[in-house]
Structure 1
Amino acid sequence: MRPRSSKTTAKTCGLSTPETVDAAIGGGASHIGFVFFPRSPRNLSFDQAAGLAVRVPSHVKRVGVFVDPDDALIEQAIGAARLDAVQLHKTAPDRIAHLRSAFHTEIWAAIAVKTRADLDAAHHYAGVAERILYDAKTPEGALPGGMGVRFDWTLLDGFRHPLPWALSGGLHTDNVGEAIRRTGASLVDASSGLETEPGVKSVDKITSFLQAVAAS
């Protein structure tokens, strides 16, 4: 069991309907994730994102999720969804440094984890990102996230995190309490574990997940 300095908060990711956004806000989510990646079943158009973003109060942060995006996509998404932060998968540190400088926004760098050695990549993002998101490494050719895959949480034991961090990868109502107790994560992130099928979020699953986080 790892100690925590404060209560764990939660990001609900890949939301695409008003009902699920409202459920996340009502359940106490600290962050809401909007996906901008055409291959994902959770991908949003800019118009969809704009319509959802207006429902999000200022105390809940809007996070855009991208996979090695170009500047134009980031710029349009920030404007449409009024993003507070940008979460980047498969994006090199020098590219992240450029995006941070160009858009002056909070950056989360996603690290795909399968082995202890994978964690070392986190150190390359010190000074160019505000947060590390540890996610499970998915099979070659698969989507980089939202696949319901988890990694071995014991890999985090004793690791010196270079930045504030969040835990992702295969989290759902039944395991998030254990994940928090085991890792000491102060922020957890769920997507596929809140769905009835890929891209279709469940209000009930969102609600029960956030209740489980609050109870941990």
Structure 2
Amino acid sequence: MSLIVKICGLSEPETLDAALDAGADMVGFVFFPPSPRHLSLEAARDLGRRVKDRAGKVALTVDADDATIANIVETLRPDWLQLHGRESVARIRDLKQQFGLPVMKAIPVESRDDLAAVAGYAAVADRILFDARAPKDATRPGGLGVPFDWRILEDLKLGKPFFLSGGLNAGNLAQAINIARPQGIDVSSGVERAPGVKDANMIRAFIGAARGAEASLHTATANAG
């Protein structure tokens, strides 16, 4: 299975095009007003049309109500919902049934104890995304540019693919992939020159680093076998 690369928090045509041209598998759009990456529905419509079928479109929300999600789904026509709040297992089940879309559930991680609740979510969500736990005084749960100890995920058996997020950038990506062995990676602040402002060159460098790390891991695995 090829490594899935997701660029999240895109908000401008130029950087969206950079991600698509560089081969991103998924592109994420944030619908959460406290975030500097928050999109209006009008902006999301325009960006969504620009994607066409070149990558999977992911709508990120945080504890959003049904009406909000319905408006996002109608406007963006996403391929995935990414839930980054305190949504329960039952809530995920309800949303999947209501909207007929696969769900990626973000799990904040700081220690191995945070993995205790993962099994319940993994039984319902289509993908699990591990992100660094936000500080107590943070105004949003992700996109803070902080990594966690990737060794927490070593030898993790979920029974389904998981994504790694939190403080990833072109410089530390290979190490993160080698330790955690995720099936997908998700970056936002690691390809920004300022909060909420994506950089096309950083996006290209990140995706290039991801493909390079993937190839090196495959070579190492083959040699070990």
- Using structure 2 for the length normalisation, give the TM-score: 0.91
CA distance 1:155–1:215, shift in 2 (3 Å): same
Hey, what does 1:148 align to over in structure 2?
A: 145
The equivalences for 1:16-165 within 5 A come to: 16-89=11-84, 90-142=86-138, 143-165=140-162
Task: Pick the aligned partner of 1:189 from 186, 189, 195.
Answer: 186
Matches of 1:132 and 1:9, distance apart in 2: 13
Report the number of matched residues: 211
Report the Cα offset of residue 59 of structure 1: 4.0
Report the Cα offset of residue 77 of structure 1: 0.7
Whether the aligned pair in 2 keeps the contact of 1:122 and 1:162 (CA below 8 Å) is no
Whether the aligned pair in 2 keeps the contact of 1:156 and 1:183 (CA below 8 Å) is yes
The answer for unaligned runs of 5 or more in structure 1 is 1-5
- Using structure 1 for the length normalisation, give the TM-score: 0.95
Hey, what does 1:3 align to over in structure 2?
A: none
Matches of 2:197 and 2:117, distance apart in 1: 32
Whether the aligned pair in 2 keeps the contact of 1:53 and 1:62 (CA below 8 Å) is yes
Matches of 1:57 and 1:119, distance apart in 2: 36
The answer for unaligned runs of 5 or more in structure 2 is 214-225
Matches of 2:100 and 2:192, distance apart in 1: 33
2:50 alignment partner, SS class = coil
Amino acid in structure 2 at the alignment position of 1:208: A
1:205 aligns with 2:202: yes
Whether the aligned pair in 2 keeps the contact of 1:9 and 1:213 (CA below 8 Å) is no
Cα-Cα RMSD: 1.1
Q: Percent of aligned pairs with the same residue?
A: 44
Matches of 1:74 and 1:147, distance apart in 2: 23
Which one has the largest radius of gyration? 2
Consecutive aligned runs of 4 or more in structure 1 exceeding 4 Å deviation: none
Report the Cα offset of residue 162 of structure 1: 4.1
Report the Cα offset of residue 7 of structure 1: 2.8
1:169 aligns with 2:166: yes
Report the Cα offset of residue 159 of structure 1: 2.3
